[in-house]
Chains A and B, each alone.
Chain A
Amino acid sequence: MTIAEERQAEVGRDRRRKEDARLITGRTMWTDNLALPGMMHLAILRSPMAHARITHIDVTSARGLPGVFDVFTGRDVADMQGLMPCVWPVTEDTVLPDYPPLAINEVRHTGEPVAVVAARDAASALDALEAIDIDYDPLPVVLDMESALADGSPLVHADKGTNKCYTWVLDSAAAGSGGDAAQAAADAEVVVRRRYIQQRLIPAFMEPRSVVVDPTGEQITVWSATQVPHILRLLLAMSTGVAEHKIRVIAPDVGGGFGGKLQVTPEEFIAFAAARRSGRPVKFTETRSEAMLSGHHGRDQIQDVTVSATRDGTVTGISVDLKVNMGAYLGIITPGTPLLGAFMYNGIYRFPAYRFECTGVFTNTTKTDAYRGAGRPEATYAVERIMDDLAAELGMDPLEVRRRNWIEHDQFPYATAAGLTYDSGNYAAATDRAMELFGYDDLRREQRERRESGDPVQLGIGVSTYTEMCGLAPSRILGQLRYAAGGWENASVRMLPTGKVEVVTGTSPHGQGHETAWSQIAADQLGVPFEDVEVLHGDTRTAPKGLDTYGSRSLAVGGIALVNACRRVVDKARPVAAHLLECDPADLEFVDGAFRVKGTPGASKTLADCALAVFTSHDLPDGVESTLDAEATYDPEDFSYPHGTHLCATEVDTETGMVSIRSYVAVDDVGTVINPLIVEGQVHGGVAQGIAQALFEEAVYDEDGNLLTGTFVDYTIPSSADLPTFITDRTETPAPGHPLGAKGVGEAGTIASTPAVVNAVVDALRPLGVSDVRMPCTPERVWRTIQDARNGSSPAPEGGERP
């Protein structure tokens, strides 16, 4: 055999995504595409009241309608439906209210499920909903956090006696990771205090949630449009008492999630109950409006931030008082979501003192939970906003203040006051590159000219330098934070007799392109063609071990499990190859998919040769098992820390308040890149989603607790027509703890972009006396802020230089 021409490495190649043809055409297994014989369709009646006692339900006439098989209420399934679980009670005394999937006596937010119809088709089920008669006795409603915490507030859960869910504190002085932030503020030459509001957002994944449940004998199979099939299986078992080994969960192709499908949902539990009750397969697919009303929401925080500094711009401490709206109930990680940001309020900086206090608050709103970035966008927003405000206070350039405080390249690994150890990074390199691509000095010059000429369209420049912790998560840290599960990930590799490869991953992609990236990794590790790898995922029967996809973890954690499993395959093949070549295993080297005898050109056996040899097993060395298949589970030692610098220039029309983005530069460092095309897509989508928070999106309730933004007419998601051409580039600082050097990229764009945009809006308007614009910076809000500043009625920002 001759040595083949040198194999081109797969890692680093712009592979087109192999899953896209089927995802884009829809000729695939979306959950709603599934039809089973005898399947019933479910429709759910939802509460029109934000808080009420259910005094009477009459389903008699609905039961009698054509095509209707079953109608049930919470009372009918109270003993079998289970309770919705929360797996992250962040403190010992976290208040954990009962959360029945189908309300029993009381509803606590609009959209809460109260009754279910099962019918032969979806239209009949919807028709029957209209025949259900319910009487509600309204109860007082509380929607905003500060009212909910005030004495005498109406209680969301009367039996709990309080609307406070928990208070969680991280203090660097107490933890020994840094100084005393209060003392730093008392001693400081300059103190800046700000209140920032994180508005409520709706994840707005493309594919609405859908679930099919098929009870066959003792086995129950659940298909769900979920990010977390493994977690769903476990929690269905734990909550309903159905044995775990009798439940199979399949996440077929799933159309987006952004954290919105990092949840086990009342709808899944209701469908599970409906199928068990009837013994027939059932399907529930929500409408877009139901997704927006009752799928969990994101963000909704009040951030009171204090930063103290010396007059030369050196920050001496930061403290954060956070209030987080839980909504009416706790989803799986509702209380813990802000904690994912708790360690990031010191950003990329050498802040010596840090204090963080977070209070979770119940209100009569849809629950909140993870949404792209989950805690980290909020933290980055606060620190990047206040660094700009500090710069303005000191009359310094915002980039100069950052340079003065950031961790230098030669200081890594760096232990922060929040208690993390950042692995690697080069903030100066990313920032220099971003400034060059942006044309920073030219834009500042144009800004001066527009200010001097009184141009009605003002120019603003916004800076955001960020890092994030990704690769969720080291199990020991999750344990310390009282999270109920670990953070490991699993992969296995199956060598088929023909030399083709099946990779089984415990991650559960819903648009990320794992099939492509994992194929690239396995192809390099095993030396097989990219096309010879098939990636299997999302089925607890074929991929029994896994912790699914969220928190930029899949590559950072699951990728290592895959590399380790591939290496084990090679290790298992080595004695087989040695036997075939009649040499000592120690004399073999594995190069480009083949074992070669060192110093004997031409003597080699490919991995496929070995796979066939173990398949036939006619001639194996003694003690060698008839398989090359291998599995690996990896629990990360630590997080990984991608970073970057984003720069945004906005034009603000001071006559109308309209903000338009003139240019946007993103330079990200996500470690070594497996597939640049996928990374580019993640950055584009992430930046767009972060811009959407800055300028466009907000979930709004009226005073009675009705969601006013329940359709895409009212919840305004930007399209490409509203966004600029993104200028992107990368620096590459490999992750030291990762065999591939990869960090994570799933949330980076969203984390970075929101403060870049709002900083740019505020920067445009500072000469007019504006120091804050609330998100989203809608035209009216911007215009009013300008009017208020001109009329001198703007509330003066707190803090400032000491007298």
Chain B
Amino acid sequence: MIPAAFDYTRPTDLGAAVQALADAGEDAKVIAGGQSLMPMLRMRFAAPTMLVDLGGVAELRGVRDDGEALVIGAMTTHDEILRDPLIQQHAPLIAQATATVADRQVRHLGTFGGSLAHADPAGDLPSVATALEATFEIAGAGGRRSVPASEFFVDYLTTVLEPGEVLTSIRVPKLPGWSTHYEKFSRVAQAWALVGVAVAVHRSNGTVADARVALTNMASKPVRARAVEDALSGASATEESLASASAHAADDAEPSSDPWASADYRRHLATVLTRRALHAAGAA
């Protein structure tokens, strides 16, 4: 459980970090909290020649209010997210899901941006960011760009981040008048989700005006349950509507099978958990 040898640098500003990545080339890897990368290095599943540690870049940390959205620094730890009053007020879905991430020790080191950039399909935060329609701010030697959540996640452990690029912050729209819920199903309390469901619902006059449903671990990347959203849109806010819409939760999903859950079982769980998540979010 000792990584292969690598070089290491800990820049103190974003420009230096981007430069260090550019200098090191394709075999460089960004390390944030290290809670996913370090196990991979120690198991020697990955062997980058250079690690660029973003832990010293102060500008990547913290949460700020930017009017209609919150801007969350990529290096903000899970624990900081949980304690942040802006998150509690404007993005309680993030706080709720973050509280289920691993254990206390991991939450003190692991970062919001790190979880998203790692893009594990069993991770909780990618589907949350997808449901909230967050925007990902990226910096690289070639400049800066913004990518919507719907495009950021590409495949298993793969995002649009190019070698040399750094995820700097995540812009999360405030959703006034919406209610949200994250429903996680795992075998033991500290395990990865077998399936998770992030929902955001906007009710109006006894109907569901708008609903977003994003699924964890139901494909190689977070997936929106569009069939549920479409069925709910404009539907009466009743348990019956939720149940019949939730039956379509897995329509757009392509879950995998492993010894702990078959694809069929995951599909079934998605329908039950979606109904429960919508119920908990007050959609009926």
B187 touches A127 (CB 8 A): no
Nearest residue (CB) in B for A702 is B259
When C-beta atoms are compared, the residue in chain A nearest to B268 turns out to be A783
B144: min CB distance to chain A, Å: 35
A655 sits at the interface (CB 8 A): yes
Stretch at the interface among A465-473, A618-626, A711-719: A711-719
Q: Do B1 and A719 touch across chains, with their CB atoms under 8 A apart? A: no
Which of A122, A127, A656 is the most central at the interface, judged by chain B CB atoms within 10 Å of its CB?
A656
B-chain residues with CB within 8 Å of residue A718 when the two chains form the complex: 188-189
Partner of A719, one of B2, B190, B268: B190
Query: Which residues of A (429-485) have their CB < 8 Å from a CB of B?
Result: none
Within 8 A of A (CB), among B228-275: 258-262, 265, 268-269, 272-273
B192 close to A (CB within 8 Å): yes
Q: Which residues of the other chain, B, contact A130 by a CB distance below 8 angstroms?
A: 44
A287 to B42, CA, bound (A): 10
The distance from the CB of B249 to the nearest CB of chain A, in whole angstroms, is 13
Given contacts A655-B272, A708-B259, A713-B192, contact A779 B187 (CB under 8 A): yes
**A127 contacts B188, CB within 8 Å?**
no
Does A428 belong to the interface (CB within 8 Å)? no
Q: Are A783 and B265 in contact (CB under 8 A)?
A: yes
Within 8 A of B (CB), among A15-33: none
Q: At the interface, yes or no: B4 with Cβ under 8 Å from chain A?
A: yes
> If A708-B259, A780-B262 touch, does A721 touch B272 (CB 8 Å cutoff)?
no
> Which residues 17-42 in B have Cβ within 8 Å of A in the complex?
none
- A658 to B44 CA separation, bound complex (whole angstroms): 35
Q: Smallest CB–CB gap between B189 and chain A, Å?
A: 4
Chain B residue numbers with a CB within 8 Å of A722 are: 188-189
> CA A696 – CA B191 in complex, angstroms?
11
Whether A123 pairs with B190 at a CB distance below 8 angstroms is: no
Q: A127-B4, A288-B1, A719-B188 are in contact. Are A709 and B43 (CB under 8 A)?
A: no
Cα–Cα distance between A708 and B189 once the two chains are bound (Å): 20
- 22 A–B pairs (Cβ distance < 8 Å), ordered by A: A122-B2, A130-B44, A288-B1, A655-B272, A656-B185, A656-B273, A696-B187, A708-B259, A709-B259, A713-B191, A714-B260, A716-B188, A717-B188, A718-B189, A719-B188, A721-B189, A721-B190, A722-B189, A778-B187, A780-B262, A780-B265, A784-B265
CB distance from A584 to the nearest CB of B (A): 67
Count B interface residues, CB 8 Å: 24
CB within 8 Å of A: which of B190-223? 190-192, 194
Residues of A within 8 A of B192 (CB): 713
Q: Contact flags (1/0) for A281-293 with B, using CB distance below 8 Å?
A: 0000001110000
Listed in ascending order, the chain B residues whose CB lies under 8 Å from chain A are 1-2, 4-5, 43-44, 185, 187-192, 194, 258-262, 265, 268-269, 272-273
- Contact, CB under 8 Å: A780 / B261: yes
* Interface presence of A392 (CB below 8 A): no
- CA distance in complex: A73, B273 (Å): 53
Known: A126-B44, A718-B188. 7 other contacts (CB 8 A): A289-B43, A656-B273, A708-B259, A718-B189, A778-B187, A779-B265, A780-B260
Residue of A nearest to B3 (CB): A123
B282 to chain A, nearest CB (A): 20
Q: Is the CB of A719 within 8 A of B259?
A: no
CA distance A714 to B43 in the complex (A): 15
In the bound complex, what is the Cα–Cα distance between A721 and B100 (angstroms)?
12
A46 nearest CB across to chain B (Å): 13
Query: What mask results when residues 171 to 187 of chain A are scored 1 for a CB within 8 Å of chain B, else 0?
Result: 00000000000000000
By Cβ-Cβ distance, the 3 closest A-B pairs, closest first, are A721-B189, A287-B1, A780-B265
Bound-state CA distance A769–B269 (Å) is 22
Closest-CB distance, A349 to chain B (whole angstroms): 35
